[in-house]
Structure 1
């Protein structure tokens, strides 16, 4: 599933459609659409902004509505130069299920292999309600060491890995980065929050920002399905230190990387480097 760096990369790629106009919409899988009459609600609407909200992509349109796109496991948003007349809708690619036609920039294609991704049209009030339920965004001004400490100390009984993936605490981090961040801070992801010293909390907060920024610079992590807005792979998979490395030597000390489970999710760490 695309996490914060992947979603932010796509959002960055889609900035070029700001001020463009949606001229039409096509779908062959209406089950993914959580709002009625989507075509009439978005057609001839100017795009005011494209932004990220946690792991969601938000497209703001001129009628004070917001298109919320959740890529889930295998969703891909790809900007193409194709004009509406170029599409043979009876013979589109197998996993292309939705198309947003644009006045200036061709089309925004929404591909999804497993068909878990969703599209919804919501009001600003609803968007604010959704945002209020999410945890702090790591790239917001709110993400200070004081705020970070306050949030995680409410759940002292939980493990570090669990807290990093808790979207009500920190918004946007998933399984990949929840393994890489503790490695960077040299902390065992299975440790309880209550066991961390103030110095370790600072290290963890700094590692969250460091790893997420680096992943965005490298345009995300591609294992199989993720592609950026230009249908290209990311590069952070080439710099992973522990995620998916069980049984291999640690890049720092040659100790074998171990694989465990936290809340039914695979968790990777070096038992020598991470204490």
Structure 2
């Protein structure tokens, strides 16, 4: 599933759509659309902006409604030069399920292999409801060491890994970065938050920002399905230190990287570097 760096990369790519107008909409999978009269309500609307909300992509329309797209496991939003969908294209592009035709920028295509991704048209109240269930945005100015410490204080019984993946605490971090961040901070992801010293908390905070920012700069992590809005793979998979490297040697100390399961999620760490 695309995590914060992948979603932010797509959002950055989609800034080109600001000021454009949606001229049409095509779909062959209405089950993914969680709002009634979706096409009718978005057609002719000008795009006021594009932003990220957790792992959601939010396209703001000029009439104060918001297209909320969640990519789930295998969703992809791709910019395309082709405005109209032909029968031939539908045959050739097996996993293309939705297309937003645009006045200036061709089209925005929504592909999804497993068909778990969703679209929703939300008003301000509904968007606020979605936002209220999410934790702090770690890329925001509100994400300070003080706030980070407060979040830890009310979740002391959680492990580091569980805390980082808790979407009600910090929004957007998934399994990849919840393994890479503790490695960078030299902390065992299994450790309980209550065991962390002040110095270790500060290190975890700094590593959270460092790894997320670096992953965005490398345009995300691509193992199989993730692509940016231009259809290209990310590069951060080339910089991973522990994720999916169980049985391989740690790049720092040559100790064999171990794999554990925390809350039914695979977790990777170096038993020597991470204490």
| TM class, shorter-length | over 0.9
Contact 2:190/2:262 (CA < 8 Å) preserved in 1? yes
Secondary structure of the residue aligned to 2:154 is helix
Q: Which residue of 2 aligns with 1:36?
A: 36
Q: How far apart, in 2, do the equivalents of 1:22 and 1:98 lie?
A: 13
Say yes or no: does 1:114 pair with 2:132.
Answer: no
TM-score normalised by length of structure 2: 0.98
How far apart are 1:192 and its partner, in Å?
Answer: 0.1
TM-score normalised by length of structure 1: 0.98
Contact 2:90/2:96 (CA < 8 Å) preserved in 1? no
How far apart are 1:59 and its partner, in Å?
Answer: 0.1
Q: Structure 2: which 5+ runs fail to align?
A: none
Secondary structure of the residue aligned to 1:49 is strand
Q: Which residue of 2 aligns with 1:84?
A: 84
How far apart are 1:271 and its partner, in Å?
Answer: 0.1
How far apart are 1:130 and its partner, in Å?
Answer: 1.6
Deviation digits for residues 81-100 of structure 1 (CA, Å, limit 9, x no counterpart): 11226674653511000000
Secondary structure of the residue aligned to 1:256 is coil
Q: How far apart, in 2, do the equivalents of 1:26 and 1:105 lie?
A: 16
Q: Which residue of 1 aligns with 2:211?
A: 211
How far apart are 1:129 and its partner, in Å?
Answer: 2.1
Deviation digits for residues 64-104 of structure 1 (CA, Å, limit 9, x no counterpart): 10000000000000001112266746535110000000000
RMSD (Å) for aligned C-alpha atoms:
1.0
Distance change (3 Å), C-alpha of 1:132 and 1:211: same
Q: How many residues align?
A: 275
Say yes or no: does 1:134 pair with 2:145.
Answer: no
How far apart are 1:132 and its partner, in Å?
Answer: 1.9
Distance change (3 Å), C-alpha of 1:183 and 1:70: same
Q: Which moved more, 1:129-138 or 1:180-189?
A: 129-138
Q: Which residue of 2 aligns with 1:4?
A: 4
Q: How far apart, in 2, do the equivalents of 1:22 and 1:140 lie?
A: 29
Q: How far apart, in 2, do the equivalents of 1:83 and 1:186 lie?
A: 49
Q: Which residue of 1 aligns with 2:221?
A: 221
Secondary structure of the residue aligned to 2:78 is strand
Q: Which residue of 2 aligns with 1:169?
A: 169
Deviation digits for residues 146-201 of structure 1 (CA, Å, limit 9, x no counterpart): 10110121111110000000000000000000000000000000000000011101
Distance change (3 Å), C-alpha of 1:25 and 1:241: same
Q: Which moved more, 1:127-136 or 1:83-92?
A: 83-92
Q: Structure 1: which 5+ runs fail to align?
A: none
How far apart are 1:63 and its partner, in Å?
Answer: 1.4
Q: How far apart, in 2, do the equivalents of 1:89 and 1:241 lie?
A: 40
Secondary structure of the residue aligned to 1:57 is strand
How far apart are 1:141 and its partner, in Å?
Answer: 1.1
Deviation digits for residues 110-168 of structure 1 (CA, Å, limit 9, x no counterpart): 00000000000001121122212211110111111110110121111110000000000
Q: How far apart, in 2, do the equivalents of 1:90 and 1:130 lie?
A: 33
